[in-house]
């Protein structure tokens, strides 16, 4: 799979992509990451990528022209498997389901937003998806793009012991297995500073261990991520939420173009 990243900070990505799964997948030829400097597609001598917002207001906005020029030069004849993703604070919340969908595409181009935002014509007429990685304010889309690349790269066949795309298809869920958080884990020593690993995990009774883990996952989900129970309509009493209705979707509809 080929990832393109369009950014005004190309140096930023030497860090995140030089380690771990993404680095190894790159070395194995399973993915390729091409970083593109947005300023390469400016025409003025100051290499201007931003301008003041129409209507006034604080901050600057990334101009549409260099972004369109860049994408049209990277893909002179854009094909269906070549998806453009705009990372912006106004985007739809990125989740596992979207990563699964992206992993099935041959090529992805991530546009990193900056400043106060990006000229809306990029979202309307160039990008297939506009996504945010969470409800907090970042200073730009670069960290978000690295997050998306990592989440997608680890799904590619051959990268993490995903031997075939069949193994990969069995992972077409939200990433939380049965819709719950993973169960908690312990490793040696069994007693660390007086804090003991649960005895049941040491006794070798696999049925008891399975039941313990299932309950521990439920308990932890109820405590830390009651929203996951709401999505599946499993919550008996909606903890601290106005979305009490059974089966309430956090996202209003499935991701049409991506999957589901
Ligand atoms: C007045 C409100 N603005 C600034 C506080 C809105 C705003 C503009 C630009 C907020 C963030 C940004 C820059 N952020 C991104 O480009 C971004 C982002 C994010 O901020 N949070 C989560 N995901 C992403 S993806 C890109």
User: For 232-249, what is each residue's pLDDT tens digit?
Assistant: 677 655 444 444 444 444
Mean pLDDT computed over 131-138: 98
Verify whether ligand 1 is closer than 6 Å to residue 16 (CB atom): no
Quote the CA–CA distance of 217 and 184 in Å, as a whole number. 7
Query: How many angstroms separate the alpha carbon of residue 150 from the centre of ligand 1?
Result: 20
Looking at per-residue confidence, does 243 or 211 come out higher? Answer: 211
So what's the pLDDT on residue 227?
95
pLDDT above 80: residue 21: yes
Give the ligand 1 atom nearest the CA of 94: 23
Q: Which three-class secondary structure state does DSSP give residue 123?
A: helix
Q: What is the pTM of this model?
A: 0.88
Verify whether ligand 1 is closer than 6 Å to residue 140 (CB atom): yes
Give the ligand 1 atom nearest the CA of 137: 20
So what's the pLDDT on residue 260?
36
Quote the CA–CA distance of 227 and 224 in Å, as a whole number. 9
Verify whether ligand 1 is closer than 6 Å to residue 137 (CB atom): yes
Strand boundaries in the chain, DSSP class E = 2-7, 32-37, 50-51, 61-62, 82-93, 107-112, 117-118, 129-132, 191-192, 195-196
Verify whether ligand 1 is closer than 6 Å to residue 111 (CB atom): no
Give the ligand 1 atom nearest the CA of 140: 16
User: What is the average pLDDT score of the chain?
Assistant: 89
pLDDT band (50, 70, 90) for residue 152? very high
Verify whether ligand 1 is closer than 6 Å to residue 87 (CB atom): yes
Q: Which residues pair with 34 in a beta bridge?
A: 4
The lowest-confidence range among 103-107, 137-141, 178-182, 209-213 is 178-182
Quote the CA–CA distance of 127 and 135 in Å, as a whole number. 21
pLDDT above 90: residue 88: yes
Verify whether ligand 1 is closer than 6 Å to residue 138 (CB atom): yes
Mean pLDDT computed over 35-57: 98
pLDDT band (50, 70, 90) for residue 179? confident
So what's the pLDDT on residue 237?
53
């Amino acid at each position: 799979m080929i990832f393109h990243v369009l950014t005004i900070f190309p140096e930023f990505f030497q860090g995140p992509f030089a380690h771990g799964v993404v680095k190894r997948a790159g070395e194995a030829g399973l993915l390729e990451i091409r970083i593109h400097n947005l300023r390469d597609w400016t025409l003025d001598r100051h290499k201007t990528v931003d301008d003041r917002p129409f209507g006034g207001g604080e901050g600057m906005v990334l101009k549409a022209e260099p972004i369109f020029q860049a994408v049209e030069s990277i893909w002179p004849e854009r094909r269906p498997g070549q998806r453009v993703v705009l990372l912006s604070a106004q985007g739809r919340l990125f989740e596992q389901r979207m990563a699964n969908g992206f992993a099935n595409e041959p090529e992805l181009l991530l546009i990193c937003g900056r400043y106060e935002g990006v000229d809306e014509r990029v979202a309307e007429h160039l990008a297939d998806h506009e996504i945010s990685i969470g409800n907090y304010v970042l200073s730009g889309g670069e960290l978000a793009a690295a997050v998306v690349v990592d989440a997608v790269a680890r799904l590619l066949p051959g990268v993490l012991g995903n031997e075939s795309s069949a193994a990969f298809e069995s992972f077409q869920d939200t990433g939380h297995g049965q819709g719950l958080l993973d169960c908690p884990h312990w490793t040696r020593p069994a007693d660390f500073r007086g804090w003991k690993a649960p005895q049941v995990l040491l006794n070798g009774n696999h049925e008891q261990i399975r039941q313990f883990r299932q309950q521990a996952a439920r308990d932890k989900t109820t405590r830390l991520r009651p929203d996951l129970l709401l999505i599946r309509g499993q919550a008996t009493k909606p903890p601290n939420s106005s979305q009490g209705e059974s089966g309430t979707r956090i996202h209003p509809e499935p991701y049409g173009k991506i999957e589901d």
